[in-house]
Amino acid sequence: MIVRLEPRGAVAGWVSAAMTMAALIVAFVIGGLVLAFVGGDPVRVYLHIVNAAFGNIGVISDTLVKATPLILTGLACALAFRMRLWNIGAEGQFLLGAWGASAVVLAPVLPEGTPAIVVIPVMMLAGALAGAAWGLIPGLLRARLGVNEIITTLMLNYIALAWLQFWVFGPWSEGGFQQSVTFPRTAWLPRLTDFAGSVPALGGLTTHLGLVFALVATAIMWVVVSRTRFGYEMRLIGDNPTAARYAGVDIARYVIVVFAVSGALAGLAGMSEVSGVVHRLQDRISPGYGFTAIIIAYLARLGPWRVVLASILFGALILAGREIQPSGVPAMIQGIILFCLIGSDVLVRYRVRVARRGAVGAT
């Protein structure tokens, strides 16, 4: 018996969607087996995860808080991946975005007492610009000199972290601790709980305005990739750069623009995190959002709205996972999901055929 992979012709949209769902289910089954193997009860663990992430309005709000930076960094990765630009540097761009936004308060760029209506937009702009600048470095190197962006984006992550640490250990340190002072309230993104005065039901809900940024960014990206000439040219470059050049597309320009926008999205995620959740700059503001974003973009098959769904799933895993075990279980499930996705990708592109060998005997 031999097993052969035959390439499929046209693949219907529902096939790849079904494969993704199947990959998720298989991942959770394998995860369950691992849990059972170490003596846990997988059903109870999964029920606990569901309950801890979606059990009541409070935890749903917390899940969305976790999902917010994932959506923005996930979009950053999905946008670049559509052009087959492997931006592995969303983490670094996120950190730079956080730094840029913090600089507005800590440098300070704006004088003390500036109203929130001015501070917040300036912080958004600073965060996005800092992230874009960090994305432009690999973008320019790739477009002008053909430098492999996987290496540069990956390495720049470490430089970004070192940069951030320099500022929180040194100039912006609060009394020698590796964090800055807490931002004034004018630099905080509004949260649902801030409106508890008029709507008591919102009390304690920490979902902040960053979620709205994320959803608006999703909508804009959806329109751009599916309805505009820019999105069409990205598709063309992503599928066949030679044909894109043949169609008169200036590829270098697109590489630079897409890297800058990708960096800006990740930078905005960093801004939303310092301004909406942490309210100060510290070196451990990201538990690896920029890396998880890679898996999210992949799981979403680069679709903007699917990035939102995948981010909520991963947000839930991060939130609930911590309640079960500080790091092991969520990281394990994330890893298994990635493996199953890569496996299912083969099944989307190829059909498995089992042929019986030796059916025709020699005479």
Partner 1 sequence: MPLAIEARGIVKSFPGVLANDQVDFDLRVGEVHALLGENGAGKSTLMNVLAGLYQPEAGELLVDGTAVRFRSPRDAIAAGIGMVHQHFTLVPSQTVTENVLLGLPLPRFRLDLRRAEASVAEMAAGVGMRVDPRARVWQLSVGEQQRVEILKMLYRGARILIMDEPTAVLAPQEAEELFATLRTMTGTGRSVVFISHKLGEVLAVADRITVMRAGRVTAAAISPVGSTPADLARLMVGRPVLETLERADAAPGRVVLSAADVHASNDRGIESLRGVSLQVRAGEIVGIAAVAGNGQSELAEALTGLRRCTGRIVVDGVDIGGRASGAALRAGVGHVPEDRARVGSAPNLSIVDNLVMKRFRRPPLARGPFLDDGAARALATDLKARYSISAPSIDSPVRILSGGNLQRLILAREIEAAPAVLIAVQPTRGLDVGAIEVVHRLLLELRAKGTAILLISEELDELRTLADRLLVVFEGRISAEMPAGGADLQEIGMHMTGGAGVEALAGMAAAVASAPGAPPP
Tell whether residue 239 is a contact of partner 1 (CB under 8 A). yes
∠ Cα 225 229 230 (to 5°): 60
Helix (H, G, I), strand (E, B) or coil at 7: strand
Tell whether residue 244 is a contact of partner 1 (CB under 8 A). yes
**Binding to partner 1 (CB under 8 A): which residues in 298-327?**
none
Tell whether residue 236 is a contact of partner 1 (CB under 8 A). yes
**With 0-12 CB in 10 A as exposed, 13-18 as middle and 19+ as buried, what is 115?**
exposed
Structure tokens at 300: 């979403």
Cβ proximity to partner 1: between 30 and 249 the closer is 249
* Beta carbons within 8 Å of 330's beta carbon, 6+ residues apart: 317, 318, 320, 321, 322
Cβ proximity to partner 1: between 185 and 245 the closer is 245
Is the four-CA dihedral 75, 76, 81, 83 of positive or negative sign? positive
CA proximity to 156, closest of 267, 301, 287, 307: 267
Tell whether residue 145 is a contact of partner 1 (CB under 8 A). no
Cβ proximity to partner 1: between 195 and 232 the closer is 232
Q: Which of 228, 284, 287, 326 binds partner 1 (CB under 8 A)?
A: 228
CA proximity to 218, closest of 179, 279, 269: 269
Q: Phi and psi dihedrals of 333, rounded to 5?
A: -65, -40
Give the nearest distance from C-beta 240 to partner 1 in angstroms. 4
Binding mask 179-218 for partner 1 (x = CB under 8 A): ----------------------------------------
Tell whether residue 230 is a contact of partner 1 (CB under 8 A). yes
> For residues 252 and 79, is the Cβ–Cβ distance under 8 A?
no
Tell whether residue 358 is a contact of partner 1 (CB under 8 A). yes
Tell whether residue 361 is a contact of partner 1 (CB under 8 A). yes
Cβ proximity to partner 1: between 117 and 359 the closer is 359
> For residues 152 and 136, is the Cβ–Cβ distance under 8 A?
no
Tell whether residue 362 is a contact of partner 1 (CB under 8 A). yes
> For residues 282 and 179, is the Cβ–Cβ distance under 8 A?
yes
* Chain length of the chain: 363
Q: Which of 231, 278, 324, 338 binds partner 1 (CB under 8 A)?
A: 231
Cβ proximity to partner 1: between 19 and 329 the closer is 19
Tell whether residue 219 is a contact of partner 1 (CB under 8 A). no
Tell whether residue 242 is a contact of partner 1 (CB under 8 A). yes
DSSP labels for 128-146? HHHHHHHHHHHHHHHHHH-
Give the nearest distance from C-beta 61 to partner 1 in angstroms. 36
Tell whether residue 9 is a contact of partner 1 (CB under 8 A). yes
User: Of the ranges 30-38, 47-55, 107-115, 355-363, which one interacts with partner 1 (CB under 8 A)?
Assistant: 355-363
Q: Which of 1, 10, 117, 145 binds partner 1 (CB under 8 A)?
A: 10
Give the nearest distance from C-beta 244 to partner 1 in angstroms. 8
DSSP labels for 171-203? TT-BTTBSB-PPPPGGGSPPBGGGGTTT-GGGT
Give the nearest distance from C-beta 1 to partner 1 in angstroms. 14
CA distance 359 to 13: 36
Q: Phi and psi dihedrals of 187, rounded to 5?
A: -100, 10
The H or E element containing residue 260 is helix 251-273
β-pair partners for 182:
none
User: Of the ranges 104-112, 158-166, 232-240, 319-327, which one interacts with partner 1 (CB under 8 A)?
Assistant: 232-240
**Binding to partner 1 (CB under 8 A): which residues in 246-285?**
246-250
User: Of the ranges 127-135, 177-185, 223-231, 325-333, which one interacts with partner 1 (CB under 8 A)?
Assistant: 223-231
Cβ proximity to partner 1: between 57 and 252 the closer is 252
* Beta carbons within 8 Å of 56's beta carbon, 6+ residues apart: none
Q: Which of 232, 283, 338, 345 binds partner 1 (CB under 8 A)?
A: 232
Q: Which residues bind partner 1 (CB under 8 A)?
A: 9-10, 227-232, 235-236, 239-240, 242-250, 358-363
